[in-house]
């Protein structure tokens, strides 16, 4: 699907959808708990649906009442204690494992689903085949898969598709902190289920630390103890997840970022549904907008919105700490640069970020959405300041995190035409 945005500032009020980052965490913890959990969530998206499908494949029963915004999660059978029916596999090389009769875990395009549930599936002793689409099969997992193999899991590949057979033993886990915080989150969910205590030790400084803070908050809500330690965390084994019965998923600062960036460009949008008492790192959007120097190492998902605003502001903006964006749903550094250039912006790609000379007149034209939800949304708000209509390709990608984005865009006075792809 292609969409055409006609220029014009936006105004009004918008309530952002539930945080997919918080939803992934709440649903996984609920599926590992000791009883029913009602997850209150006002919107679903493709990534959350992928996690729901994988948890169902692992044995959770999940009832969806979309009208009332409820997901009722009955946990995976045996999840409060480790299912050890395959513990004899621990330590065997993957070439000796029979991967027949595996569970099919389709992660869609969701890196969170894959990296959170890969350690969990191993801890539960599952035989599973992980698959995915888009760029997910290209995205790196080696640091995580090697750590899992070192602790007894059998895994036949480092990228999708991959076949996995548990179980796991505790002990010392070493990981880089600057590749993906999702590796850390996956282990934090899995390690409490093991018999032995574990220690996670980071070999490089942690980036995107706010996402790990979100994980730690969810674990605390479900009665799991994780103890901070030097360069990592100590995770006692033999723990059980205890359902708090009700979990309320907060609004998504990553989604709010696009409307707040539009405000920095001259729109007047009242953004609701987010909490300032949150562990979401992307709440930093309010403080970062308009800064001439931005270190994005802890908030990489904000770069498309920040870059769009920077193209309009009459200053030079230097964004650093964003090298990991090359490994997202697109090469986001290249995608953002192409977006700005297509509309008349001035941008240079650096090894770990962007240099944007803002304030240039923006023209209409065509922007490649790269099948990346954040590029499509950034291009849409940038188009409000162009001097002619802007066509954005692959705009259906917004369903990954914000299916109602264009509905909300129009409710704010934005003018959107939908074209079939190929026109």
- Ranges assigned E (strand) in 196-315: 198-202, 227-229, 232-235, 246-248, 268-272, 293-295
Longest dimension (CA), the chain: 66
Query: Which SS3 state, helix, strand or coil, does residue 194 take?
Result: coil
The span from the CA of 165 to the CA of 154, in Å, is 5
Is the previous residue joined to 149 through a cis bond, with omega within 30 degrees of 0?
Answer: no
Q: Classify the phi-psi angles of 153: left when phi > 0, otherwise alpha if psi is within -120 to 50, otherwise beta.
A: beta
Catalytic-role residue among 301, 338, 368, 372: 301
Of 61, 16, 10, 58, residue with least CA distance to 41: 16
60 backbone dihedrals φ, ψ, rounded to 5°: -75, 150
Query: Which SS3 state, helix, strand or coil, does residue 167 take?
Result: coil
Query: Which SS3 state, helix, strand or coil, does residue 393 take?
Result: coil
Active site residue 331: no
Whether 148 contacts 122, CB under 8 Å? yes
Q: Which residue in this structure is represented by tokens 């995915």?
A: 132
Q: Classify the phi-psi angles of 306: left when phi > 0, otherwise alpha if psi is within -120 to 50, otherwise beta.
A: alpha
Of 111, 92, 110, 153, residue with least CA distance to 128: 153
Q: Which residue in this structure is represented by tokens 């994980």?
A: 215
Tokens representing 304 are 């498309």
Q: In what order do the strands lie in the sheet with 232-235?
A: 171-175, 198-202, 232-235, 227-229
Give the active site residues. Answer: 301
């Amino acid at each position: 699907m292609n969409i055409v945005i006609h220029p014009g500032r936006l105004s009004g009020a918008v309530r952002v959808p539930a945080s997919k980052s918080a939803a992934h965490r709440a649903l996984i913890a609920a599926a590992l708990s000791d009883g029913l959990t009602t997850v209150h969530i006002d919107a679903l998206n493709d990534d959350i649906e992928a996690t729901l499908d994988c948890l169902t494949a692992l044995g959770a029963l999940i009832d969806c009442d979309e009208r009332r915004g409820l997901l009722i999660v009955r946990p995976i059978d045996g999840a409060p204690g480790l299912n050890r029916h395959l513990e004899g596999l621990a330590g065997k090389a993957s070439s000796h494992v029979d991967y027949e009769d595996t569970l099919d875990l389709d992660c869609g395009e969701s890196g969170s689903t894959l990296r959170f549930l890969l350690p969990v599936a191993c801890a539960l002793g599952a035989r599973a085949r992980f698959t995915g689409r888009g760029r997910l099969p290209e995205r790196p997992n080696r640091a995580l898969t090697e750590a899992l193999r070192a602790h007894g899991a059998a895994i036949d590949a480092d990228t999708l598709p991959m076949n996995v057979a548990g179980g796991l033993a505790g002990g010392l886990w070493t990981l880089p902190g600057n590749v993906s915080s999702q590796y850390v989150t996956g282990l934090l969910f899995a390690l409490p289920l093991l018999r032995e205590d574990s220690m996670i030790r980071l070999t490089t400084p942690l980036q995107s630390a706010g996402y790990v803070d979100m994980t730690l908050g969810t674990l605390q809500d479900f009665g799991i103890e994780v103890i901070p330690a030097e360069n990592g965390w100590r995770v006692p084994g033999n723990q059980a997840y205890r359902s708090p019965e009700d979990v309320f998923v907060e609004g998504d600062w990553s989604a709010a970022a696009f409307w707040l960036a539009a405000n920095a460009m001259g729109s007047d949008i009242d953004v609701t549904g987010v909490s300032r008492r949150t562990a979401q790192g992307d709440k930093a959007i309010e403080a970062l907008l308009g800064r001439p120097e931005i270190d994005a190492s802890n908030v990489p998902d904000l770069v498309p919105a920040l870059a769009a605003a920077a193209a309009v502001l009459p200053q030079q903006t230097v964004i650093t700490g964003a090298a990991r964006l090359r490994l997202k749903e697109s090469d986001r550094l290249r995608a953002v640069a192409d977006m700005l250039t297509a509309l008349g912006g001035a941008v240079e790609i650096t090894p770990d970020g962007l240099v944007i000379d803002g304030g240039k007149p923006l023209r209409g034209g065509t922007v490649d959405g790269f099948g990346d939800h954040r590029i499509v949304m950034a291009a849409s708000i940038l188009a409000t300041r162009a001097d002619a209509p802007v066509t954005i390709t692959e705009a259906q990608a917004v369903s990954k995190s914000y299916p109602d984005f264009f509905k909300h865009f129009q409710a704010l006075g934005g003018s959107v035409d939908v074209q079939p792809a190929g026109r």
